[in-house]
Structure 1
């Protein structure tokens, strides 16, 4: 039998309604929350939780204990008696602190289990905030109960108190729940908050300048915010040195709702990005430390200077080069900013001139801007106007805000030049040394040098800016005339011809010493000398085309040379002929070694040697062309005497006999002039029956000797070396000859060789001509204080040189013939002799 069930809608709806109401109650309870600054003292265990606030729930709690802990209100204390018992409190977001009281129960000992305070964002996943265990010393007595406080993360929405580990029968009593809002740190710059680990940028700041910002520390929480570190705001990071923190006005404690401030300054010392980190230690539970990443960029201007396309570094040079005096040269300079910050030109004027010659330069900065943006440029010009010749220098400097190129300096140089002279003509176009030449042209005012083919003219006159008169200098040769002005500009002309001597004919082209030779040529003007193969000759200037010269002693085959102030001319080789010498006699015809022998003959010119039987005499004097005085040499033996000249050799027909030597062995015999005294020294190697020595002297050996004194033998007979000395007082200058007369005990005697010395007396330089007025045999007499060279010139009263001779003189009187008597016109002349650095003149007359 089929049964039929009837479902009443009313009966179905009522249970569903009751379940919905119950569900809504649960939902409302589950999503309620306590407010911050909340307290609760019980009751704790009530089923079905109808006595608990909807924001607080529990699980597993035993019946509440009637004991109220810590003076809490009524309601008793929660009884945690099993592992897993918990109380959960739903809380709002924000910093908060939870506190409560625990007492041990069930035993008389301290609590040894584990009780946890945990937090959760979603009520599912929990993390431990704090742990109460045996180390917490929670006891069973009122004196050993303990109060606990824990800070909870601001993001936590649930706080759970859970019995996680039980030991024996022990229990925990829980009471006096308090939830308060904790300190809540917040930092702002201006009106903008910066979260922890957030960033703040100082932007771009000029290098070595500063940018400061003020930061505000706020306490948005309910408890005092403590800034716990020292310094209060710490700096760290790569570029921390580029930032500074000022906490002078910063309080280390901030009350709820209050604030404090600190400053941060960014001072970049170089170009580029800079970073650092601010860190503030505090008691905010979840924002300790509070950090801010700060950054900024160092920017700076970078000055660069150009002239045209070429950059000039600071301290570098710029040269205006050569600019004519009283004219100008200008250059434009460009100031560039190749940096990242504005370039400020801070000087007044912007470009300043200093230096030795600053007045020679001017700056025009009419178009110069005082501020140059990055990548932009501005210009100024500098003008060089030299007012005189020579090198000029100055320095310009530009003050600016480039940190490493302030001021920016450039060394200016330039040279003032006078305009180059211009030569249009000169007259005459040729001339002799000493002639005056007129030069015509322009820009002559500042000419400071004139040279003829490289030889500088020392005498010139600037007549005007268009005319100069100049004397052709000694040594000038054919070539251009060069004018130079102060500063170095110069201009050369076409060729100026310097007239120099030429020799066309020497007649005859050979001759003997003393012969007269006629030299024909051109430009014999201001003749300075005539030489035969380099040997000075006596000459007479007949005209500008003819000279008569005497072949000088010592001349050899070679060119004849005529020297003038305008130059030198050489002839073809002139052949010097020599006469063969002859010996007609000699006296005496015998003598001792060292005796002076007078040799008579002919053609004793350019004597090369005198020999006695082949032994060459080292001491001879050519007295004249016909007489020689020669000393018999030590090596001489009896035989013929020979005289050798450039013309040949003459030998005597008769024999010269060398007499026996001294009966003593004479090692040496010397004479030495010491002031006004002649010191004679001799030494013997041996002596036999020697009585004494007689010292004899002569000023002319051929005239004989006079006895000066006697020196006794020191040993009479000896084979040992014996030395002797004798002094002779000399009062006059001249040549003195000395010999020894050795006398034996028996009266026999013999002579030594002759020695000679030159004595200097109180001689003076003097020149005379005798006879004067002249006759054919007149001589030039030269008194010389010392041996040397004498240059003799005979000139007319108009200055024309008619005679020249260079001769060697010895101390004392010297005589020279004056040739060409018949060539001289009847007139007065001046004889000038240059002798030993002095010039002596005397008047000579031919009637």
Structure 2
């Protein structure tokens, strides 16, 4: 899921500094300055934590990214080590495949211990058939016995009114950590295929989030509906928490299939910093899949700071949302909510929108709102406090070539600051079609070199590349404060 909403995040951020109307491929290359290996992995080690013996954990995604200027052939992805049989490759979209420059591929691994105790193994990724080299990811996890009297049970009903195509999977997550909990012995399922009554037994006590995922609906999201516009509201972020108590049964967690309410924007609708006494508005587009309409019963504000937020326009309550005759890639009618954040005092403010609709009558769809009230004061940053010198590896855009932007940033302030360099490609209609970024902490008085880039398309006529230098540690952690002018290459 992380990859899907990141593309949304980047599009939202860029709309604040320029007019955008298209979709793009996100390449968040924080490792482009690695000089040696042509590939990097999303993490070098992963601990699956505690897992019931005989059950499989939820599949965990690893990514392999090509940070070189040449295609890289992946020869194999194999397990090695004493406990390698306790780890399972669930889905593999890259073995014996090729990763193009600037692109990435993913594979999924689950932990399925066969005995008690700590288990360790390595993933060995072999690449470059002519001169084989390897990258290693260390895995670990602990198998624990199931003691029924120390566990709890969840029961409910799945109602499917749209046919077998919409059959799906129940997914259980730890409410605090977001870690997916395995509830099936089959790692290829990773959950409980459900229709009718269901029972999930032997769950450790704690707070969880449970939701129903239809692979068909997920496929539609990914293929026919541009992710740049939509994010699934019926997911971990929005699911209501449930509590599992040892020796008890948590009942009445019911689902109607499908639950296809969609919302635009990012996981949390973050207003950022807003001066006390002023106001900022955002529009949240709400829609539904064709053939699976949702009637919106109510929309309400809740939470500790709900008085700091207001619904100033609501075009969905009392409406049946459905996309009639939607073509792939075409957004639906603009219906949704306009929300205003008007802080009355400094500090972080949070609230949530609760949406009740006919396909989800027991739980509201939750949209988290967040903003920070700030006193009016001069900007913390001054462009004169930073020295920024960009260099490109070409004098003008060259179709089909790898573009690298190297930016030397000098911090003239008296404190260590996080600096974010964003490199974005725009087509002839000024739509952002590719983006890459890198962030580094730069000490007071020091200079750091930040490099980001991507492979240019085969046709770059009337295209342009822009380089932005902002504050922040990542796209999701920035105030969008410019530390220099925008640099452009055509």
Q: Normalising TM by the smaller chain, what interval?
A: under 0.3
More strand by percentage: 1
Greater length-normalized contact order (CA 8 Å, ≥ 6 residues apart): 2
TM-score by length of 1: 0.14
Give the greater-gyration-radius structure (CA).
1
